[in-house]
Structure 1
Amino acid sequence: MLTIGEFSRTCFVTKKTLRHYDDIGLLRPAHVAENGYRYYTVGQIRTMRLILRLKAYGFSLPEIAAHLANPDSTALSQKLVEKQRLMESERDQTERVLRRMEQDIEKLERNVDIMEQNITVTTVEREPQTIFGIRKNISVQDFQELFGELYAAAGKKGLQPLGGPMAFYHDEDFNAEHTDIEVALPVAAGTPGSRELAGGLHACSTLVGPYDSDAFTAIYAGLMQWIDENGYHVANSPFDSYVKGGPEVDPKDYVTEVYFPIAK
């Protein structure tokens, strides 16, 4: 048996952490003496190492506890794939931020305004369009899941999309945890459950590249500035049209058109 101090030194974990894990039932000592001293077995070192490894992979303590209570290598493998994808996404985001920082440093060294918006805005007269969609109040983190629901619903109805997916933003202000989003597909006129998207004049700009929040903010800000400077107002909910994207396309080649319905 190992004392809590010996176990702490062996596993490079503080005694405070071990007491906490005992309190929450994550890793209890093999034996607690009458004087309250905690003792661990050598076999528990493996469990402690697993806890540390899963923590390093981004697992929460409740997730780790659930696995220890019901060890399942298949389920753990699936969880690891999810964590891997999340970490890869976070890595890609970090790399994008670093590239932007590098570009901003270079601009500042040339005395260039890093908030300058170099976007092209055009006006487009869109025809009315029939769309089939799903509209929900969701967290922005569930955005992609909503597209999954859309394609599942369209497939269940046997619908044939006539174009790429679209996303409409119906909120008056932004709330990341509770936003009114509609995702839709262009479909044939008269499709059950569809609605008509009004045509008319739209201000449009195109984003080429990954779905980056800063890039989208720049596009939206540039469009709003153009609309204001040219005496228009926003007449309806803005929307994105995903012209080119999906898992088979390199994110640097994504093409997204952003539309603002406008009127004088």
Structure 2
Amino acid sequence: MKLLTTGELASLFSISKYTIRHYIDIELLIPKHRKENGYYLFDEENVYKLYQILVLKKIGYSLGTISTILTQNEILNYFTDAEQRLQNKIDELSAVKKRYSQLYKHKIFIN
């Protein structure tokens, strides 16, 4: 895989270059390469790491927690926990939807 610039990496994930720079500033993403002009270059490992960061962020973890997860290499445990939390939320919403459907079906409304 060729090395990617900050702009190319940002485009790949549809995020801003500033987001990537922020992740670098807080040492969440550490580029393996740097050009003489100071520009960062990202390899395949960096791409995978950014993917992990974005997935964990989408699940709802804070950047501090994400740093801990990736540092402790506990990502699978956190994914399992997140999957369970998401399933619980799905179950709750399904119950609400079912109850709403019953109320609507029987035209039981509170005035």
TM-score interval, smaller chain: 0.7 to 0.9
Deviation sequence 1:119-155 (CA, Å, 0-9, x none): xxxxxxxxxxxxxxxxxxxxxxxxxxxxxxxxxxxxx
| Unpaired segments ≥5 residues, structure 2 | none
Deviation (angstroms), 1:34: 6.2
Query: Number of aligned pairs?
Result: 109
Taking the TM superposition and a 5 Å limit, the aligned residue runs for 1:138-149 are none
2:77 is paired with a residue whose SS is: helix
Deviation (angstroms), 1:16: 2.4
Given that residues 33 and 42 in structure 2 are in contact (C-alpha distance below 8 angstroms), is that contact kept between their aligned partners in structure 1? yes
- What residue identity is the alignment partner of 1:82? D
Distance between the aligned counterparts of 2:36 and 2:53, measured in 1? 28
Taking the TM superposition and a 5 Å limit, the aligned residue runs for 1:63-212 are 63-71=65-73, 75-107=74-106, 110=107, 112-114=108-110
**Pick from 38, 43, 46: which aligns with 2:45?**
43
- Greater fraction helix: 2
Deviation (angstroms), 1:96: 1.3
- Greater fraction strand: 1
Deviation (angstroms), 1:57: 3.7
2:67 is paired with a residue whose SS is: helix
Distance between the aligned counterparts of 1:33 and 1:46, measured in 2? 21
Distance between the aligned counterparts of 2:65 and 2:52, measured in 1? 12
Deviation sequence 1:166-204 (CA, Å, 0-9, x none): xxxxxxxxxxxxxxxxxxxxxxxxxxxxxxxxxxxxxxx
Deviation sequence 1:67-92 (CA, Å, 0-9, x none): 22232xxx433333222221111111
Given that residues 29 and 40 in structure 1 are in contact (C-alpha distance below 8 angstroms), is that contact kept between their aligned partners in structure 2? yes
2:102 is paired with a residue whose SS is: helix
Distance between the aligned counterparts of 2:80 and 2:70, measured in 1? 18
Deviation (angstroms), 1:114: 3.1
Q: Normalising to structure 1: TM-score of the pair?
A: 0.36
| Unpaired segments ≥5 residues, structure 1 | 116-264
Deviation (angstroms), 1:3: 1.1
Given that residues 11 and 45 in structure 1 are in contact (C-alpha distance below 8 angstroms), is that contact kept between their aligned partners in structure 2? no
1:43 is paired with a residue whose SS is: helix
Distance between the aligned counterparts of 1:43 and 1:83, measured in 2? 24
Distance between the aligned counterparts of 1:65 and 1:30, measured in 2? 18
The percent identity for this pair of structures is 30
Given that residues 104 and 114 in structure 1 are in contact (C-alpha distance below 8 angstroms), is that contact kept between their aligned partners in structure 2? no
CA-based RMSD: 2.6
- Alignment partner, residue 235 of structure 1: none
2:109 is paired with a residue whose SS is: coil
- What residue identity is the alignment partner of 2:94? E
Deviation (angstroms), 1:105: 2.8
Deviation (angstroms), 1:35: 4.9
Given that residues 2 and 39 in structure 1 are in contact (C-alpha distance below 8 angstroms), is that contact kept between their aligned partners in structure 2? yes
- What residue identity is the alignment partner of 2:62? S
Deviation sequence 1:181-239 (CA, Å, 0-9, x none): xxxxxxxxxxxxxxxxxxxxxxxxxxxxxxxxxxxxxxxxxxxxxxxxxxxxxxxxxxx
Given that residues 30 and 46 in structure 2 are in contact (C-alpha distance below 8 angstroms), is that contact kept between their aligned partners in structure 1? no
Deviation (angstroms), 1:4: 0.7
